[in-house]
Amino acid sequence: MKRWGWLMALMVLLAGCVAFPANGSLKRPEEATAKQQREHKPPPKDLYVVAFGDSLTEGVGDQERKGGYVGRLVPLLSAEDGVRTVTVANFGKRGRRVSELAPVIDAHHKELERADLIWLTIGGNDVMNVVRSHFFDLSRERFAKASETFAARLDRLIRSLRTLNPDAVIVLVGLYNPFSSTLPNVPEINDVIAEWNRASQAVLSGYPRTVFVEIQDIFAGRDDLLYRDEFHPNAAGYEQIARRVHQALRERKDWWLDRNNRLEGR
């Protein structure tokens, strides 16, 4: 009996050693996993953004002088978990067409090479050039021909950006129709804008880590979102664009925030 009593005491002692850690608490597996994730969580990232293109990137029409959609995107991205700071180099300029962007890339290649995000607006002035050049004989055919030229130049532009920076997420903001009241003689203008947007999307689909942001629906029938020149967005219009771009970026957050995922994704 004494021997059995001694064995029972030893078994209880060993069971206590296995069941309870030295601090007297027993962590569940999910708690241990959560702790490991916290310990391996990467530090917040300092984002560097290059924005270039036309007047929408410059922020023309923003009566609140907050920098258009670009300026409004900065606080939205800064509030994202995992982001510490957002620095923007803005090279947008009023009136630029796609054929005028190659020198901009050459002049700012150092900034583009280190960018995490590249934001681009282009095409509105190319459409406007067709309108001005053929105001009295506008046709779908003229817009279609100009769209082909635009798409070819956009393709060369994106290829140049991708050569400079294989990892940056390139965001192209699409076109909207500001001509509903100024071009009543061209009722097909909405279809023309949609075709140009589809051409841009087709170009971007051939390159990794690119995002096309559709905004045509935002401005449809919304003259209240336009500046008094009836062409550029006003402050409210830029706010809508910023939120749409932010939404698109959030859906692909791992592309621009996860350093271990820089070469993945389309």
Q: How far apart are CA 231 and CA 221, in angstroms?
A: 13
Q: What is the pLDDT of residue 140?
A: 87
Nearest CA-CA partner of 127 in 170, 199, 177, 173 = 177
Taking alpha carbons only, the member of 238, 243, 169 closest to residue 208 is 169
In a domain, 146, yes or no: yes
pTM over 0.85: no
Both 20 and 142 in a single domain?
no
pLDDT exceeds cutoff 60 at 22:
no
pLDDT band at 10; cut points 50, 70, 90: very low
Looking at the fold, whether 187 and 257 belong to one and the same domain comes out as yes
Q: CATH number of the domain at 175, please.
A: 3.40.50.1110
Q: Do 11 and 65 lie in a common domain?
A: no
Share of the chain above pLDDT 90, in %: 70
Given a cut of 70, is residue 14 above it in pLDDT?
A: no
Pair (245, 125) in one structural domain: yes
97 in any annotated domain: yes
Buried b (16+ CB within 10 A) or exposed e, 195-204: bbbebbeebb
H or E stretch covering 210: strand 210-213
Same domain, yes or no: 23 and 50 = no
Q: Residue 111: count other Cβ atoms within 10 Å of its Cβ.
A: 18
Distance CA 256, CA 41 (A): 16
Q: Same structural domain for residues 9 and 51?
A: no
| Residue 40, domain member (yes or no) | no
* Number of structural domains the chain divides into: 2
Q: Identify whether residues 27 and 88 lie together within a single domain.
A: no
Residue 93 shares a structural domain with residue 172:
yes
Domain extent at residue 88: 45-261
Q: Within a domain: residue 10?
A: yes
Confidence class of residue 58 from pLDDT cuts 50, 70 and 90?
very high
Query: Does residue 232 contact residue 61 with C-beta atoms inside 8 Å?
Result: yes
Q: Is residue 14 part of a domain?
A: yes
User: Is residue 177 in a domain?
Assistant: yes
Whose CA is closest to 93, among 127, 128, 59, 62? 59
| pLDDT tens per residue across span 23-53 | 545 556 566 565 565 556 778 999 999 999 9
Residue 105 pLDDT > 80: yes
Q: Are the beta carbons of 151 and 138 closer than 8 angstroms?
A: no
Tell me the per-residue pLDDT of 125-184, one tens digit each, with 9 for 90 and over.
999 999 888 877 778 889 999 999 999 999 999 999 999 999 999 999 999 998 766 666
**Is the predicted pLDDT of residue 225 greater than 90, yes or no?**
yes
Shared domain check, 213 and 251? yes
124 and 15 in one domain? no
Token code pair at residue 120: 């681009």
**Over pLDDT 70: what percentage of the chain?**
79
Res 34: pLDDT: 57
Q: What is the mean pLDDT of residues 106-130?
A: 97
Is residue 266 one of the residues assigned to a domain? Answer: no
| Poorest-pLDDT segment among 116-130, 179-193, 229-243 | 179-193
What token pair was written down for 188? 């097909």
DSSP 147-186: HHHHHHHHHHHHHHHHHH-SSSEEEEE------TTT-TT-
74 and 191, same domain (yes or no): yes
